[in-house]
Amino acid sequence: MSPSGNNQIGDAADISAGQSVSQTISPAGSSNFYRFQAGSSGIVKLKLENVPKDMRPYLCLYDKNLAPISEKSASNAGDVLNLEKDVQGPGWFYIEARDIDGKAHSEPYTLDVAFEPAPDQYEPNPNYFRATDVKSGEDINAYICPGSDDDFYKIFVDTSGILKLKLDGVPADMRSYLQLYDKGFGNSIASSSASSPGDKVGLEKDIQGPGWFYIRVQDADGKAHSEPYTLNVAFEPAPDQYEPNPNYFRATQIAQGQSITAYICPSGDEDFYKFYMGSSGIVKVTLDSVPADMRSWLQLYDKGFGNSIASSTASSPGDKVRLEKDVQGPGWFYIRVQDADGKAHSEPYTLTVAL
């Protein structure tokens, strides 16, 4: 193809990605303009070659608003000139080719136009307000393009639990960065960054539901990529029907012989229970079927709340815990259950009280 009459940007000749054009620069001081349509964001690669030996080539790329977004000129006459730029599509993009020294040439140059698409079906999702809904167990294939692109996702959880994120299959030159936010938007509660480009990144965080949580994916170095990443989202629920019971005043009432199945989640969670004794007697409290990585801690309080009258802590994670104490009734007594190491768990414990 050898277009003509394309010396003004408004008369740009239509070309397609993968196409080569050959044209001369004439008259002196003139430019040749071309345009192509990108169906998505991606990376534009331009190459001016076979240039006349006295031509010092110049390339400029314009966006759909005819604003220049990248330009480059050769150092020497006759040099091959390459220009690469990540762009945000879809839309039309315009190319200007000329001699930077304003010369005319009777011999043609060759312009090669290549486009590497990054067809992200989840765009636009550049912030919390336009975050893409995702669900547990879902794999998302998306792109970081153009450069400094932020991809936001959101997940609704109806209970507390453990959220596990994994960036897999990342481009070889992408240094992945993951960040997790709570429903307060600006409150970052966890983050993870790859040490080297191409590394997989994982993030695990115990969260307190119900509510929305937000995930941000980006390249820590601000690069653009025409290859996708894969984001895996998994949520392990800890559906504790007795929550919230974080203190004496909101303690869950239990009865003699009752067994309760509940969860320590999120980390640092404390579960309070209360029972009434009509007379003095012996209280036996058992923590059974505890998570394998939970080092259980039981405490017993009298009606003075802050007065701990007995406690028992597991020596090793996964151990059962028993507590036995003679108490003076009548009155209310309180039990506190927690992980001595402050961990969160998506597996339940079983609490039994015998009087």
Could you name the CATH architecture of 248-354? Answer: Sandwich (2.60)
* Nearest of 340, 351, 332 to residue 285 by alpha carbon: 351
- What residues contact 346, with CB distance under 8 A and at least 6 apart? 161, 162, 236, 237, 238, 263, 265
Q: For residues 291 and 265, is the Cβ–Cβ distance under 8 A?
A: no
- Token pair, residue 116, equals 């590497």
Which range has the worst mean pLDDT, 68-82, 177-191, 234-248? 177-191
* pLDDT confidence bin for 2, thresholds 50/70/90: low
Architecture of domain 9-117: Sandwich (2.60)
Q: Note the pLDDT tens digit of each residue in 294-335.
A: 999 999 999 877 689 999 999 999 999 999 999 998 999 999
Question: Mean of the pLDDT values across residues 341-353?
Answer: 97
pLDDT at 1 exceeding the cut of 70: no
User: Which of the residue ranges 1-10, 116-125, 141-150, 175-184 would you say has the lowest mean pLDDT?
Assistant: 1-10
Average pLDDT over residues 232-257: 95
Residue 228 pLDDT grade (very low, low, confident, very high; cuts 50, 70, 90):
very high
Q: What is the CATH number of domain 128-238?
A: 2.60.120.380
Q: How many CB atoms lie within 10 A of CB 13?
A: 18
Instruction: Determine what percent of the chain is predicted with pLDDT higher than 90.
Output: 94
- Share the mean pLDDT of the chain: 95
Query: 248-354: same fold as 9-117?
Result: yes
CA 13/CA 18 separation, integer angstroms: 15
- Percentage of the chain beyond pLDDT 70 is 99
Measured in degrees and rounded to the nearest 5, phi and psi for residue 248 equal: -60, -40
Give the predicted TM-score (pTM) of the model: 0.87
128, two tokens:
């919390």
| CA 87 – CA 69 distance, rounded (Å) | 9
Neighbours of 183 (CB within 10 A): 14
DSSP tally for the chain: helices H, then strands E: 0, 27
Determine the 3-state secondary structure of 255 from DSSP.
coil
Query: If you average pLDDT over each of 139-143, 186-190, 257-261, which comes out highest?
Result: 139-143
Tokens for 57, please give them: 């080539």
Q: Cα–Cα distance between 286 and 323 in angstroms, integer?
A: 6
Provide the pLDDT for residue 5: 85
Largest CA distance in the chain: 110
Bridge-partner residues for 287, per DSSP? 321, 351
Report how far residue 99's alpha carbon sits from residue 76's, in angstroms, rounded to the nearest whole number.
11
Query: Long-range contacts made by residues 301-304, C-beta under 8 angstroms, separation at least 24?
Result: 301/248, 301/333, 301/334, 301/335, 301/336, 302/327, 302/331, 302/333, 302/334, 303/331, 303/332, 303/333
Query: At residue 183, does pLDDT exceed 80?
Result: yes
Domain ranges for the chain: 9-117, 128-238, 248-354
Q: Could you tell me the pLDDT band of residue 23, with boundaries at 50, 70 and 90?
A: very high
Q: Are residues 190 and 182 in contact, defined by beta-carbon separation less than 8 angstroms?
A: no
Q: Per-residue pLDDT averaged across 11-37, rounded? A: 96
Between strands 81-87 and 331-339, the pairing is unpaired
What is the number of residues in the chain? 355
* Contact assessment for residue 227 and residue 253, using Cβ atoms and an 8 Å cutoff: no
CA dist., res. 57 & res. 152, Å (int): 41
Mean pLDDT score, 34-63: 97
